[in-house]
Structure 1
Amino acid sequence: MWKRVAAILIARNREFYRDKAGLIWNIMMPVMMIVAFAFIFGGGPEDLFKVGVLGDPQTATDESGFLATPYLDFVPLADEPAAVTKVARHQLDLLIDARGAGGSITGYWANPESPNGQIVERLLIGAHATAGLPPPERRTAAGDALSYADWALPGVLAMNVMFSSLWGVGWVVVRYRKNGVLRRLKATPLKPLEFLSAQVLSRLLVVMASSTVVYLGALVILDFPMRGSYAALALIYIAGALSMISLGLLVAARLRTEELADGLLNLMAWPMLLLSGVWFSMEGTSTAAQWLSQLMPLTHVVGAARGIMIDGAGVLDVLPELLLLLTLAAALLAAAARLFRWE
């Protein structure tokens, strides 16, 4: 069995690296996207000050009048630890605790390294002084700024894994069937599961190699944070690639034309791209969108990778996502082998 799998694996790898144009495109496209993000979003934060409010800013009792200050964007938040983390990362300029009696302001968090935070803090203290009130209790949340490129990079890497995994096997297997390659393989002792396993291993090697090159290229170009475990990051991308490759094989199990395969793969890829938190956070979206997002494997890859790179998560922290993705990969591969047809 393993000799047959190895033979198909070697043949598939040779086919890939001999296609120089496809090889260069797989490596350069995501690198160029990262450079574009750094160029577009590298100009610093917007002029509008953003203030988080623990509680409801609409019903809070504010005798100082600070919550009525124009040109401040007040964002209601419920999770205190997550909100404080946003202040530390310069994603919020200030965080106000409006959970006192009757919705009064009892304290606030400021980042001493945030220029915008210093300005908003002075506005808060000035508003209380003008109203003849003592300033609220001050707490600090120090930390380095997190740029949009830093936040988006884990998702861009996951997006590269998704596209390379889906089209690298889904489209190719359909082309094999159309060109009669699978019909010739049917005459050999090769079994469907062996053939599909070889495709999985081949594509996994290519995806992880290209992702490593992209990661190293981004490391040279961008000064992004990597606070967690490299082992955890590798495992989550491997598990994500396995689930995507298995999904691509399931799509290609019986299709006969590349056009239909391309359409179905696009039908799966673009909703995942929009709803998996690659480009923007799903916070604040509709309940239905958030529920649908949790059904997509890319969501769990992006969330876990972001937790590792930005929050410093380790293998144990992302173990639920790992188990979910590996279980999904096994189920999809089993279904693909069950439905697979040589002709």
Structure 2
Amino acid sequence: MSTLSRITVQEGKLFLREPSMVAFAVVFPTALLLVLGAVPALREPSEDFGGVRFVEVFAPSALILGVGVLALQHVPAIVANYRERGILRRISTTPVHPGLLLVAQLVVALLAAVASAVILILSAWLVLDVSPPQHPVGFAAAFLVGFAAVIAIGMVIAAWAPTPQLATGLSTLAYMVAMFAGGVFVPRFLLPEPLVRVGEYVPPGVQALLDAWSDAPAGVAGDPGVASAGPPELLHLGIMAAIAVALGSAAAKLFRWE
């Protein structure tokens, strides 16, 4: 087993020892969707959502809630904690490069996000009769690019925040802004048109996930008159990928080991 694999396994075990984080990041998105799906009115087609059901529209948003917790709250706090306790500095004196610890954190967060997505998709399909993503390749691309963009924001915070407390404060602010702008907290058809348009091209990429998940009318995202959704637009994915690269590079330059 390689050094990175061993570190990743260890970080994974530490993650699983945090029941609150596992609950909120992996289990809570599915639980929330199922609770809302228990309301009969939310399982019926609605004109407000372009003739589809609320549970179909909300499923990608529920998934993003867990991704946001992992990328914008868990990872920055863990890295800042390791820095404050001198763990990063001590590792830098060994043959093991401390960058491997950061990579392991990203891998664990990604695996947890994938687990959350699988649980949510299967539960929505089996319990609420919400069809799995109609464009699986596009959905996977949107999910990975969106995750990369959001985790890049988290890594910028992790790169600079000297204490876990400051990292938590900044991460919470970033989480609230990203979830609101992305239409996760408030249905996008209720948001101002400029904010809807901006939210289509920036993290967390809810619109790209929705496009790939179903062929629902695009009006559910605040764009009445467009016939139907399909695979996510390359422009959406390209801009989020550019954001991920730009912020990831900035985090690498700003990163402090101690």
Q: Do they fold alike, i.e. is TM over 0.5? A: yes
Q: How does 1:25-174 map to 2 (within 5 A)?
A: 25-40=24-39, 42=41, 91=47, 145-174=51-80
Change (3 A) 1:40 1:258: farther
| Partner residue, 1:15 | 14
Q: What's the secondary structure of 2:159's corresponding residue? A: coil
Residue 164 of structure 2 aligns with an amino acid whose one-letter code is: E
Tell me, yes or no, if the aligned pair for 1:277 and 1:302 is still in contact at 8 Å: yes
Change (3 A) 1:332 1:193: farther
Residue 192 of structure 2 aligns with an amino acid whose one-letter code is: S
> 2: CA distance between counterparts of 1:333 and 1:225?
34
| Partner residue, 2:118 | 212
Offset of residue 173 of structure 1? 0.5
> 1: CA distance between counterparts of 2:244 and 2:42?
40
Of structures 1 and 2, the one with the larger relative CO (CA 8 A, separation 6+) is 2
Residue number among 169, 174, 178 corresponding to 1:268 in the alignment: 174
Residue 176 of structure 1 aligns with an amino acid whose one-letter code is: Y
| Partner residue, 1:310 | 214
| Partner residue, 1:86 | none
Structure (1/2) with the larger strand percentage: 1
Q: Tell whether 2:235 aligns with 1:320.
A: yes
Unaligned runs of 5+ in 2: 216-228
| Partner residue, 1:134 | none
| Partner residue, 1:234 | 140
Q: What's the secondary structure of 1:187's corresponding residue? A: coil
Q: What's the secondary structure of 1:224's corresponding residue? A: coil
Q: What's the secondary structure of 2:129's corresponding residue? A: coil
Q: What's the secondary structure of 1:162's corresponding residue? A: helix
Change (3 A) 1:306 1:41: farther
Offset of residue 232 of structure 1? 1.8
Identity %: 25
Question: Aligned-pair RMSD on alpha carbons?
Answer: 2.9
Offset of residue 172 of structure 1? 0.8
Offset of residue 149 of structure 1? 1.5
Change (3 A) 1:225 1:186: same
Offset of residue 306 of structure 1? 0.9
Offset of residue 250 of structure 1? 1.0
TM-score normalised per structure 2: 0.81
Structure (1/2) with the larger helix percentage: 2
Q: Tell whether 2:252 aligns with 1:337.
A: yes
Q: What's the secondary structure of 1:253's corresponding residue? A: helix
Structure with max Cα Rg: 1
Tell me, yes or no, if the aligned pair for 2:26 and 2:112 is still in contact at 8 Å: no
> 2: CA distance between counterparts of 1:288 and 1:174?
35
Offset of residue 176 of structure 1? 0.9
Change (3 A) 1:270 1:231: same
Residue 325 of structure 1 aligns with an amino acid whose one-letter code is: M
| Partner residue, 1:296 | 202
Offset of residue 290 of structure 1? 3.9
Tell me, yes or no, if the aligned pair for 1:174 and 1:252 is still in contact at 8 Å: yes
Tell me, yes or no, if the aligned pair for 2:133 and 2:139 is still in contact at 8 Å: no
Offset of residue 267 of structure 1? 1.1
Residue 208 of structure 2 aligns with an amino acid whose one-letter code is: A
Residue 9 of structure 1 aligns with an amino acid whose one-letter code is: T
Residue number among 165, 176, 198 corresponding to 1:259 in the alignment: 165
> 1: CA distance between counterparts of 2:179 and 2:20?
25
Aligned residues: 245
> 1: CA distance between counterparts of 2:68 and 2:144?
11
Tell me, yes or no, if the aligned pair for 2:46 and 2:54 is still in contact at 8 Å: no
| Partner residue, 1:5 | 4
CA offsets per residue over residues 126-180 of structure 1, 9 Å max, x none? xxxxxxxxxxxxxxxxxx9511121111111122212222222111101111222
| Partner residue, 1:70 | none
> 2: CA distance between counterparts of 1:165 and 1:17?
16
Tell me, yes or no, if the aligned pair for 2:67 and 2:147 is still in contact at 8 Å: yes
Q: What's the secondary structure of 2:160's corresponding residue? A: coil
> 2: CA distance between counterparts of 1:192 and 1:44?
48
Tell me, yes or no, if the aligned pair for 1:41 and 1:148 is still in contact at 8 Å: no
> 2: CA distance between counterparts of 1:269 and 1:22?
15
CA offsets per residue over residues 180-233 of structure 1, 9 Å max, x none? 211211212444654433322221112112221222222222111446222221
